[in-house]
Chain A
Amino acid sequence: EAGVAQSPRYKIIEKRQSVAFWCNPISGHATLYWYQQILGQGPKLLIQFQNNGVVDDSQLPKDRFSAERLKGVDSTLKIQPAKLEDSAVYLCASSFIRGIYEQYFGPGTRLTVT
């Protein structure tokens, strides 16, 4: 079974530029999550999708971050414009259905904003 795919793996941008991350969850997984992991901290949920609908985006900085999951499969997370404090690893995870079930994580995208 293929795991969660993410690209790019690494990205370096200057502040005020925009960036986009892509995630392809495990086939058949209805729930998709985007997490932000700042160095020395645990992953923090940014947004959660159930199929192609948003069920939790309470911690997403909506003035600069946006995400979509068209067709309920793969997803993109965008930052525009980026700030220095956005430097982090962005993790995508998926689970089979909603609720407390094991989440499968991708390898993440390490973003450095200079």
Chain B
Amino acid sequence: DQQVKQNSPSLSVQEGRISILNCDYTNSMFDYFLWYKKYPAEGPTFLISISSIKDKNEDGRFTVFLNKSAKHLSLHIVPSQPGDSAVYFCAASARTDSWGKLQFGAGTQVVVTP
């Protein structure tokens, strides 16, 4: 049962333009969301997170938007740079799960072209 879905397996964007990655979830108990970035042959690294009490969180070029009613979140990267080429995973957790278990989406491969 896939509770976190990233329906776009890949995204190609030109350098300097905006990258928009989407993520949908089905479990209404999820109230904390994270984005991880993964380069080949490396483990995922934390990028940005958002709590359900907010609808936007910004960190430099990265902004995450949360639409609770639609059970949808998105990650915006502006401007996109070649070093942003990686796989991006959306993950979700429920604060009622005191152990912090994360459910991951399947990932979106981003390719930033010059």
Contact = CB atoms under 8 A, between A and B. Distances in A.
B107 A31 contact: no
Interface of B: 4, 6, 9, 32, 34, 36, 41-46, 49, 89, 91, 93, 95, 98-102, 104-107
A42 B89 contact: yes
Interface residues of A, number: 26
A46 to B, nearest CB: 11
A42 B107 contact: yes
Nearest to B105: A42
A48 interface: yes
Contacts of B42: 107-108
Nearest to B87: A42
A56 B104 contact: no
B105 A56 contact: no
A91 B105 contact: no
